[in-house]
Structure 1
């Protein structure tokens, strides 16, 4: 297989509600996207470059990588070669009590031996856990988040690129109903801007276009519906995609695996 075609994503049951563990090996470039959850992981091999609201960074083997809920970011292999990384995604309701109210992780790439060891231990514990081992996962999670909170989290440090007052009405319109068709003129009217001004401001504030942002919202909605066990065709329609094949193409590009595999892994 040509190295640029290398790609594998595996979701593991984590035994705790609101927690998702993913192993990835990929030479693919991931477009700008966001998650509903906090993301915390370790690069196992290779290296990647990323853009985020906290700046452009490069992460290599042994580095801890993080994302905040709603934070736009992307990822490309630093040399075109595959890189491998392991991630744990945490719903805000799970991470919030440990990190603190309204806390944000302040660094997208962290070089910290003690934190790396804690994250790897958490990932191993979560992947190896049986249904009776939920307490062990919870203990590892609390220990890891306590260390993260003490060193790399701060209240009110919301990163750029998440959105704010300048586009509050337009963003709310897209978030309230991601599946709905909406025009650039509609969004511009809400903000009292021309279509060009709205587009330029959107890219400057969030790092992506309104359509790309709407696509992210639709993917996040699709993930929630898939977690409920909904049929793929129903999910495609409910999330605003033209058909199931459209959902498949976009989902694979954004998430790294097909909707069917994603739903099967969660079940």
Structure 2
């Protein structure tokens, strides 16, 4: 599950899975590929059929879902990379999003799965894992273009910043709209047009991402639920599984076992 002891990377490999994911987004760069079967891949309002030999490149904060085609289980890998680490390899202060969403390159996909194998080896050395991942990401950077820098909208940026903070508290839309300098209705429309999801959906994703980090630290699940603003442990369990297909307990157990191995 976890990329060994690398704090900036998380890996996942699933065999013949029928798991269905709710549409969601990540704060990290996500890279996926199918080894067997096929996937119905939605990215924003676009839909694709993802088969072996193609990498799916999902920029941070982009709404997406990857689910199996009917009656066709898929074997696939996922890699989640912190944007600060990605930016350092790009030679930039801030991560430059990829212009490409699908990259058909059989040799690079083979490199990708070889990298996942190394990352998920419980007996592998950290330096070996980091070298392997760096080499793969470097090869990827040679094959993709980056989106041009877009001027940020101060009100939306401010709203996003507020939505990522103080997750244990309720945040009234009126407070958010006032800070962004507009009406509640105007904020919801502008936020969804810019980010792709509503403020509530964005904040829920932030809660799940924060929960991942706390669970990785070995914190008590009930405490994580409270820290991330869920009503109770059952409420947390429901939403976490909808986004990750794993229960908080299973996610934490797999992560901590990988670190101890």
Instruction: Confirm or deny a common fold (TM above 0.5).
Output: yes
Residue 55 (structure 1) shift: 4.7
Normalized per residue, which structure has more strand? Answer: 1
Q: In structure 1, how many angstroms separate the alpha carbons of the residues matched to 2:225 and 2:74?
A: 30
Deviations 1:30-61 (A, max 9, x none): 22322232222321223223333595433122
Query: Measured at CA, do residues 252 and 164 of structure 1 come closer, stay the same or move farther in structure 2, by a change above 3 Å?
Result: farther
Could you tell me which residue of structure 2 aligns to residue 21 of structure 1? 11
Q: Which residue of 2 aligns with 1:48?
A: 39
After superposition, residues 145-164 of structure 1 pair within 5 angstroms as 145-154=137-146, 156=148, 164=153
Q: Is the 8 A contact 2:36 2:75 kept in 1?
A: yes
For residues 85 and 183 of structure 2, what CA distance do their matches in structure 1 show? 41
In structure 2, C-alpha distance between the alignment counterparts of 1:164 and 1:189, rounded to whole Å: 15
Give the drift of 1:164: 4.5
If the length of structure 2 is used for normalisation, what is the TM-score? 0.85
RMSD: 2.4
**Counterparts of 2:189 and 2:155, CA distance in 1:** 12
Is the 8 Å Cα contact of residues 33 and 216 (structure 1) preserved in structure 2?
yes
Secondary structure (helix, strand or coil) at the match of 1:257 reads coil
Please report how far the alpha carbon of residue 74 of structure 1 lies from its aligned counterpart in structure 2 after TM superposition.
2.2
Once residues 65 and 58 of structure 1 are traced to their aligned partners in structure 2, the CA distance between those partners, rounded to angstroms, is: 11
Answer yes or no: is 1:103 the counterpart of 2:96.
Answer: yes
Question: Is the 1:106–1:153 Cα contact (8 Å) retained in structure 2?
Answer: yes
Contact 2:155/2:181 (CA < 8 Å) preserved in 1?
no
Q: What residue is the counterpart of 2:23 in the other structure?
A: 32
Q: How many residues align?
A: 252
CA shift at 1:70, angstroms?
3.1
Give the counterpart of 2:136 among 124, 130, 144.
Answer: 144
Relative to the length of structure 1, the TM-score reads 0.83
Q: Which of 61, 64, 68 is 1:70 aligned to? A: 61
Describe the shift of the 1:19–1:33 C-alpha distance in structure 2 as closer, same or farther (beyond 3 A). same
Deviation of 1:118 (Å): 1.3
SS, match of residue 154 in structure 1: coil
Q: Secondary structure at the match of 2:97?
A: strand
Structure 2: runs of 5+ lacking an equivalent: 257-261
Contact 2:99 2:147 in 1 (8 A): no
Counterpart pick for 2:209 among 200, 205, 220: 220
Consecutive unaligned residues of structure 1, counting only runs of 5 or more, are 1-10
User: Contact 1:46–1:83 at 8 Å: present in 2 too?
Assistant: yes
